[in-house]
Amino acid sequence: AQSVTQLGSHVSVSEGALVLLRCNYSSSVPPYLFWYVQYPNQGLQLLLKYTTGATLVKGINGFEAEFKKSETSFHLTKPSAHMSDAAEYFCAVSDNRGAGNQFYFGTGTSLTVIP
Amino acid sequence: ETGVTQTPRHLVMGMTNKKSLKCEQHLGHNAMYWYKQSAKKPLELMFVYNFKEQTENNSVPSRFSPECPNSSHLFLHLHTLQPEDSALYLCASSQEGTGSRQPQHFGDGTRLSIL
């Protein structure tokens, strides 16, 4: 079985400060990992994904995440927060086993950026 | 993003009404999904269609009835819903069978309120 835990349902940072959103996963097989962002009244938009290869993944809007197998983590970071980064962020895990296409999503982290 | 379009964006209905949610994807994908998003809960996968065939039904009550007439269109028929069914319903699509787990692309959702 797979699952995702996002530590901290709410994170506040000052504009220009480092953004760190935490995601830990459990998976019995090599996982595929994703981060999505959801702005108010919109659907989920893909920020970045890890499938294979380089463990540091760069995404849109200056975000990046590092896959750490030993820590079963896939934390999302951005060096300098911008007001437009305020949104809900979701981590998701999936794999390529079997016929199912199921993604397992975390409960989300709401990011507030303080001017 | 206009790759996945959902209509209507908002729907208010009584418990005895019958209505349908529509989803259309313009990405050429072969799999489509319905999710339910409630406050403070992870996204709940409801239904999965691969090549128009339903492959997943995650114990969804029969008052929700999906229909996938072709790989570009997905419907969710609703009847005799309950107040706890009020939520944001998200449609997603993806390309399966490529040997790697591809990300899901989401629509902006239908905000459903049951009176």
> What pLDDT, in 10s, does the model give residues A5-29?
999 999 999 999 999 999 999 887 7
Please give the helix or strand (H or E) that residue B63 lies within, else none: none
CA–CA gap between residue B109 and residue A66 (Å, rounded) = 30
Shortest CA distance from B5: residue in chain A: A43
Of A69, A9, A54, A48, nearest to B41 by C-alpha is A9
How far, in Å, CA of B33 to CA of B90, rounded? Answer: 8
pLDDT at A44: 94
Kindly tell me if the per-residue pLDDT of A100 is higher than 80: no
Give every CB contact of residue B98 below 8 A, 6+ residues apart in sequence: none
Residues in chain B closer than 8 A to A34 (CB atoms) = 103
Short-list B96, B100, B84, CA closest to B44: B84
Check A105 against B41: CB less than 8 A apart. Answer: no
Residue in B40, B43, B50 closest to A101 by CB: B50
A40 burial (CB, 10 Å; 0-12 / 13-18 / 19+) is exposed
Q: Do B108 and A43 touch (CB under 8 A)?
A: yes
Residue numbers in A near B103 (CB within 8 A) = 34, 46, 49
Backbone angles phi, psi at A85, to 5 degrees: -80, -10
Nearest alpha-carbon partner for B6 in A18, A57, A111, A41: A41
Q: Percentage of residues in chain A with pLDDT exceeding 90?
A: 73
- Closest CB from B31, B42, B105 relative to A101: B31
Residue pLDDT, tens place only, B4-20 = 999 999 999 988 889 99
What integer best gives the mean pLDDT of chain B? 90
Place of tokens 């492959």: B55
Q: Do A94 and B101 touch (CB under 8 A)?
A: yes
Mean pLDDT for the stretch of residues B90-102: 83
Is A103 part of the contact surface with chain B (CB cutoff 8 Å)? yes
Binned at pLDDT 50, 70 and 90, residue A97 comes out as low
Put simply, the answer to whether A105 touches B42 (Cβ < 8 Å) is: yes
- Amino acid found at B98: T
End-to-end CA distance of chain B: 31
End-to-end CA distance of chain A: 41
Measured between beta carbons, the chain A residues lying within 8 angstroms of B50 are 99, 101
* Nearest residue, CB atoms, B101 vs list A4, A43, A95: A95
Residue of A nearest to B90 (CA): A43
Strands (E), chain A: 3-5, 10-14, 19-21, 24-26, 32-38, 44-50, 56-58, 64-68, 73-78, 87-94, 104-105, 109-114
Q: How far is A32 from chain B (nearest CA, A)?
A: 7
